[in-house]
Structure 1
Amino acid sequence: MSAAALFAWLTIIILFFPGAFAFAETQKPADKAKTEAVKPFPIRGFHIDLRIEVMTMPALKAFAKELAGMGINTLVMEWEASYPYEKHATISNKYAYTREQVKSFVAYCDSLGIDVIPLQQCFGHVEYILRHARYSELRESRKDISQVCPSQIEGDKKLFTDLFSDMASLHKSKYIHIGGDETRLLGHCPVCSAKAAEEGTGKLFADYIAEMCKIVVGMGKIPVLWSDIVLKYPEAVKQLPKQTVYVDWNYGWKINHFGDIGKLLDQGLTFWGSPAIRSHPDNWYTTDWEKHFNNQRDFIPYARKAGYQGMVMTSWSTSGVYGFTWDTNYEVIDMHAIRNVYPLSGFRILVAAYAQSLKQAEPLNPEKFVVQYAQDRFGLTAAEGEKLWKILIVSPNVVKVDTPEDVAKLDSVKKSVDAAKAMMATLTPNDHQKEFAHLRLMLDLRDFYLAFKQVESVYESDNYNREMGKVILPRLKKLLDESKDLNARFAELNKGFLYPDEIKQQNHIRNEKLKNIYEAVANVR
């Protein structure tokens, strides 16, 4: 084509298709550089905690599909007792899925481009195993059954070879997450205590975890473990396979909270990071939204810069610490989670923030994100989005009624939450009303709880007597009546997400203390 002809064609394109070169003309060099700088994490994961609040299989699949649409390519499944163990069926609880359901879920995730990594704890956090008499000989302690004894190595290896093999049979992933975090009882029993004294507590940990890793590597898999104890005893890495993946869980604290990560990174070890959208101090009555947004804002850019190869968002349904109903000789009758948290169904806004954080080079701006999310997701105005942000960050404090100062703080927090409720009443979403209803319910539960704590502060005061009981009884009765409406709303919003009996149980747990105090004051027998 001649120069004249080319010029003529360009003239026609510019005249009749003025936007044809718009992107090339308007993209500033800085914007282009920023776009090119965002190298995605190879592992973009989400951790699903099924220790309590076991999701129904349709809910699990729906959530996986939504995550895939957000760019997530990995799920870490902490099945615990919801897993249908074959040879060790004693471990599985009443909410356990069938083996066909697990196969179907893994296959479905595979069709979405999601790798499903099983998480099988093998050291601490194994109450759900050690509660059973079948495994009692492996306990590090009779009274605290959270941890296996690493000195019972033959029994440990036999058990976890079976459990890892079972997980591998239903999961295609090249990884198996073996846990290994918060091993608080290291060196507790006499045998372990002697070894720790002679060789060091770090060696006690390293010897055991090395054996667990050998089992996984022997299956042709790559071991993944939480990094907190390795960071505490960094010499342990010398005994672990080079391909081991270390997961640095950081829920909002300083980077070297557990130990010097830089020294391990310098050794060429593979690290993934794990922030959280549900963690301490969250419970039924408070969610520290701002903490979780800020966790993403701070930790994800750090991990990208530090060269982490993956990011796996955690979402904890409970603290992982349990109380027990015991019988003679420490026979376990039942175990109860110490801390219960609102179900994952109410936290899509934080999940979406995580997905956005993975896609952009700059740190997340929490307030800006929430304001935009309110407009895009709920059809609210920018001004209403600002209101939603203020509502989410209002007074997340855990309240106490131990001292007059505590009560004064409680009253102040209650006023702040009352103001937030009034603000929430002005917001009417045009889209995704059910999702918004979760946020509204969480705020109402917070307000309800604070009202109860105000009554409890009278009940627990130094001058409480029978006459004062007559004063607080109507207030307690009113709260019990209000709880019925909250229970119904919770049941409706989580229908199909949790099993009916779980919903009933969670409503019971949330109101148990109120009911106990009411019955004591009213002499209900």
Structure 2
Amino acid sequence: MKNISTSPIHSLKYICILILLTFALCPSVYSSPKAMNKQDFTVKGFHIDLRCEVMTMPALKNFAKELAGFGINTIIMEWEGSFPYDKHATISNKYAYTREEVKSFITYCTSLGIDVIPLQNCFSHSEYILRHDRYTHLREDRKEVSQVCPLKINECKPIFTEIFKDMAELHPSRYFHIGCDETYLLGSCKACAEKVQKEGKSKLFVDYVKAMCEIVKSMGKQPVLWADIILKYPEALNELPKDIIYVDWNYGWDRNHFGNLDNLFNAGVTFWGAPSIRSHPDNIYLTQWEKHFNNQKTFIPYARQVGYQGMVMTSWSTSGTYGFSYDTGWEVIEMFPVRYVYPLSGFRILVAAYGESLKNNTPIDPQTFVVKYGQERFGFTPQESEILWQALKAPQETVIRGKDPKGKSVQEMKTDAIAVQRQLSALQPKKNNTEFEHLRLMNDIRVQYLSFKEIENRYQSDRFERGSARTFLKELEPLIREAKMLDKRFLTLNKGFLHDEEIAEINRTRNEKLYTVYETLNRIVN
């Protein structure tokens, strides 16, 4: 063995080497005060959004059972109008459950080891409340009915005290989620604008949220809210209760997308993270599968490394923005979601990936996971499962005036979708056929949609004249026939998961523009 010099210079040298090795071997994930905390998540949650696509109670219970099998111990329920409100029954919609059904669901979840946390919006995303005449006096804007005016604390407190208590009565969870994300209308009304000039937008936000948190705490609950706005206005943090749990929703962007996270880390707040399996720009015609897999691959390990105490997978049934039918005086007759997303029934593969991500400290590898899933779930060979992965990773983008955001033409997009269609058609699952049929249907809907958008792009150009209507009509006729077949498939696959009336509504919305153009052309020709 060689002798090691003990001179001061050599000692310093070896100390430096040890320090460098330490930094080299320690993982560096977004420098933060909690970067080396690798503890498991206490809350392993899933968010169920019932703003649109209200699941039947049997489907809801079956889904909860499946979540429990994936290791989920928490569900955040965004009931919205599907909740059977008592004193504020005006808010409940035509798909609302009974109070007995909600109780039975929560009891069932408890038996599965799942805590059900209610999410009750009280600030932004409150269209389902503010649309009603009973609550118009709370609006920030007469026409844009999504947000409560934060200066109307005195009017809001008694109303939301009753609503919160009603919700809490059926939810024994220690947590209560109050939303408060995307408060885009802050400072819109005249009175709010004056306060902004004097005290800033953050004061508008914090004063109102503090009042809502006081209601939650008076019920013995711990408030939970989305983190995007407090990240934008970190100077307001000290005015809010110290025990708030902030949910950092990140669907694949930079960690500081909403604001510098270190501002909150340094204040010692409690974070839960929230990736997504359905989010913008997903709609009924497209799903960005690879983006959602990669979201799990990157964000969940990051959140674990920096010490987030919980993880909640979000799954949005709609964009959260709406169009409205009004009468005189901006009376809301009806509201319509700007976009539907394919129902949760078609996304088991992403839910399973989430369960796998929660079990392991290492990042999930999407390709490896899908290939294994294809073999175990559908009975595919490794080669067939690889084809499934290639189909899921194929790019899917929105269509804007005949092109995607990167400039690819709708014709090229259609060619890509047809290639995926052929891949999926060639695969013959040996088990769980219904689940696989959802994947086929989703892509077939996209092919039909892109076929229509290709025709529509010419219809909306200077190439369209009255004399060419018959040619366009003939091109649309096979798409009309296909739309009816897709409607039947959608009904067959989702019957019992959603209400029949909802299924019909989604089909009608999906085809509305196609039928409108067809009927217009038919009028010209005949």
Give the residue type in structure 2 aligned to 1:463.
Answer: R
Q: In the alignment, which residue of structure 2 is the partner of 1:61?
A: 61
The CA distance in 2 between the partners of 1:445 and 1:257, in whole Å, is 33
The correspondence of residues 195-234 of structure 1 with structure 2, limited to 5 A, is: 195-234=195-234
How many angstroms does 1:235 deviate by?
1.8
Give the residue type in structure 2 aligned to 1:299.
Answer: F
1:194-239, Cα deviation, whole Å (9 max, x unpaired): 1111011001100110110011011100000000000000122211
The answer on whether the counterparts of 1:206 and 1:239 sit within 8 Å (CA) in structure 2 is yes
1:133-172, Cα deviation, whole Å (9 max, x unpaired): 0000000000101001111111111111111101110000
Residues 195 and 404 (structure 1), Cα distance of their counterparts in 2 relative to 1, 3 Å cut:
closer
- SS where residue 491 of structure 2 aligns? helix
The CA distance in 1 between the partners of 2:264 and 2:275, in whole Å, is 19
Q: In the alignment, which residue of structure 1 is the partner of 2:88?
A: 88
Residues 406 and 513 (structure 1), Cα distance of their counterparts in 2 relative to 1, 3 Å cut:
farther
Normalised TM-score (structure 1): 0.91
Which stretches in structure 1 are left out of the alignment for 5+ residues?
Answer: 1-36
The CA distance in 2 between the partners of 1:341 and 1:115, in whole Å, is 26
Q: In the alignment, which residue of structure 2 is the partner of 1:22?
A: none
The correspondence of residues 15-414 of structure 1 with structure 2, limited to 5 A, is: 39-401=39-401, 409-414=409-414
How many angstroms does 1:412 deviate by?
1.0
Normalised TM-score (structure 2): 0.91
Greater CA deviation, 454-463 or 274-283? Answer: 454-463
How many angstroms does 1:408 deviate by?
6.2
The answer on whether the counterparts of 1:399 and 1:406 sit within 8 Å (CA) in structure 2 is no
- 2:423 maps to 1:423: yes
Which stretches in structure 2 are left out of the alignment for 5+ residues?
Answer: 1-36
Q: In the alignment, which residue of structure 2 is the partner of 1:25?
A: none
Aligned residues: 490
How many angstroms does 1:39 deviate by?
4.0
How many angstroms does 1:334 deviate by?
0.2
Q: In the alignment, which residue of structure 2 is the partner of 1:20?
A: none
How many angstroms does 1:40 deviate by?
2.4
1:274-310, Cα deviation, whole Å (9 max, x unpaired): 0000000101110000110000001000000010000
Q: In the alignment, which residue of structure 2 is the partner of 1:4?
A: none
The answer on whether the counterparts of 2:285 and 2:445 sit within 8 Å (CA) in structure 1 is yes
RMSD of the TM alignment (CA)?
1.6
Residues 404 and 388 (structure 1), Cα distance of their counterparts in 2 relative to 1, 3 Å cut:
closer
Q: In the alignment, which residue of structure 2 is the partner of 1:512?
A: 512
Give the residue type in structure 2 aligned to 1:381.
Answer: T
1:447-497, Cα deviation, whole Å (9 max, x unpaired): 111111111112111121022211110121111111111000000000100
The CA distance in 1 between the partners of 2:478 and 2:335, in whole Å, is 31
The answer on whether the counterparts of 1:75 and 1:117 sit within 8 Å (CA) in structure 2 is yes
Q: Which runs of 4+ in 1 moved over 4 A?
A: 402-408
The answer on whether the counterparts of 2:403 and 2:409 sit within 8 Å (CA) in structure 1 is no
The answer on whether the counterparts of 1:400 and 1:407 sit within 8 Å (CA) in structure 2 is no
How many angstroms does 1:395 deviate by?
2.5
The answer on whether the counterparts of 1:47 and 1:75 sit within 8 Å (CA) in structure 2 is yes
The correspondence of residues 472-511 of structure 1 with structure 2, limited to 5 A, is: 472-511=472-511
Identity of aligned residues (%): 58
Give the residue type in structure 1 aligned to 2:472.
Answer: I
How many angstroms does 1:266 deviate by?
2.1
Residues 368 and 80 (structure 1), Cα distance of their counterparts in 2 relative to 1, 3 Å cut:
same
How many angstroms does 1:403 deviate by?
7.3
Residues 199 and 406 (structure 1), Cα distance of their counterparts in 2 relative to 1, 3 Å cut:
closer
- SS where residue 202 of structure 2 aligns? helix
